[in-house]
Amino acid sequence: MRPDIAFALSQITTFSACPEDQHVQALKHICVYLNSTWKLWLAYGTSTTADTDKSNVSIGYSDADGMSNPDQRSVSGYIYMINQGAVSWSSKQQTIVTLSTTEAKYNALTHAAKEGIWIRSFISKIFSRKASPMLLYTDNKEAASIAYRDKFHTRTKHINIKFHFI
């Protein structure tokens, strides 16, 4: 699936069992968009650095929408780039109901980190050398703070231990 339609398709597929007119119209809109952009493709640049240890660095971006769905489950998304090209992306509804935007974004960050670790392992196997450290960004200071400090306090102690993976 193309990264530019990942979110739209993840939203439409939730209504695939019983679509209404608005869902069919949204799907037609996606098809029109695809028809008008069929000549576009993913492009991968080359590393601009002579240092081979810094080439093929995976850079990830993670986000969550903060419980905008009627069932109060957030949608998580991430994308990983290598040499200016997208190599992995996801847009999925979270399986749990979170109590805050920070928790939703921390959950998304955890799933993105797991994918980043897999990408790093894959790169090291392909290039037969130790992969460069990955970079993972989020737009939520509180979620980043939880990940960096690994400290728990009354506002975050309810977060499931499996999300403290990062």
- Please give the helix or strand (H or E) that residue 55 lies within, else none: none
Question: H or E segment at 117?
Answer: helix 101-126
Asked if residue 70 has pLDDT above 70, the reply is no
Count of structural domains within the chain? 2
> What is the predicted pLDDT for the residue at 106?
85
The DSSP bridge pattern shows strands 135-138 and 58-64 to be parallel
Same domain, 87 and 35: no
More confident residue, 7 or 49: 7
Rg (CA), the chain: 18
Residue 61: per-residue pLDDT: 95
Structural domain of 64 = 43-165
Q: Which pair of structure tokens corresponds to residue 115?
A: 């994918």
Instruction: Examine the domain organization and report whether 79 and 158 are in the same domain.
Output: yes
Specify whether 57 is located in the same domain as 37.
no
Per residue in 109-164, pLDDT (tens digit) is 988 998 998 998 888 888 777 777 889 999 988 888 777 776 556 555 555 555 55
133 plus 59 within the same structural domain: yes
Is the domain of 144 the same as that of 158?
yes
List pLDDT tens digits, range 26-45.
999 999 999 999 888 777 77
Q: Which 8-state DSSP code applies to residue 65?
A: -
Least confident of 43-47, 69-73, 94-98, 162-166: 162-166
Q: Are residues 89 and 69 in the same domain?
A: yes
Whether 51 and 122 share a structural domain: yes
Residue 52 in this model has a pLDDT that exceeds 80: no
Which pLDDT does position 131 carry in this prediction?
A: 76
Is the domain of 23 the same as that of 103? no
Side by side, the strands of the sheet bearing 75-82 are 85-93, 75-82, 58-64, 135-138
Is 15 in the same domain as 59? no
Would you say 114 and 132 are in contact if contact means Cβ atoms under 8 Å apart? no
